[in-house]
Amino acid sequence: MKKTKDIQNITKDKILEISGRLFVRHSYRGVSLSMIAERVGIRKASLYYYFKNKEDLYFAAAERMYEELDAELDKIIFKNIDAEKKIKAIIVTYIDFSLKKEKFIRVVIHNFPSRKKQKKRFEILSKKRENIIAKIIPLFKDYFKKRAVGMDLEMMTYVIMGGINLIMEDLIYNDKKESVNSREMARKIFAIIAKK
């Protein structure tokens, strides 16, 4: 029985990984369950064992991307290094994650055809994003110390992450992602934050 469960978990992970890549590349509308099943190497009917429909699969893939990013950031947050190094490492990780997953946030925000219909699912994704932001804010608070008084650190975090998203989207669309040096980009972004 355990072997069957392991196979099911591996298959579900493979479905999420492949469907996530397909949704990023082709958008929600541009991906069919047949396309996903073919790439995974299973029958289309087998997808329904794991997911109710295409929407369910889409949101599961998007949730997984946020969870992967969250886990990567946790590795940095819990390291025993100072706030400046953590902030720089988080920026590098966010850039690298964006390159690896390409436009993963764009997938969640722009590609789904009916936000009203799936309001609860979007709320779950928004909560995941807010949790990531909430983990980063204390690092800025620690870094800026007394200067943090009166600063809207939540807004600062959203602006930084949103700015990185725009930069990455531009680089990806213009086929320049190979030219990205995430450490150098993080250094420049941190210099703007810290006014160095």
Each residue of 7-39: pLDDT tens digit?
466 789 999 989 988 887 787 888 999 999 999
Confidence of residue 6 (pLDDT cuts 50, 70, 90): very low
**Structural domain span for residue 20:** 2-194
Split into its structural domains, the chain has a count of 1
pLDDT for res 120: 83
Confidence of residue 194 (pLDDT cuts 50, 70, 90): confident
Q: Which two tokens stand for residue 44?
A: 């289309």
CB count in 10 Å sphere of residue 57: 22
- Compute the average pLDDT of residues 113-130: 78
How confident is the model over 46-103, as pLDDT tens digits? Answer: 999 999 999 899 889 888 888 888 999 999 999 999 999 999 999 999 888 887 776 5
**How much is the pTM?**
0.79
Say if residues 192 and 183 touch (Cβ distance below 8 Å).
no
Q: What is the CATH number of the domain that holds 30?
A: 1.10.357.10
CB count in 10 Å sphere of residue 86: 22
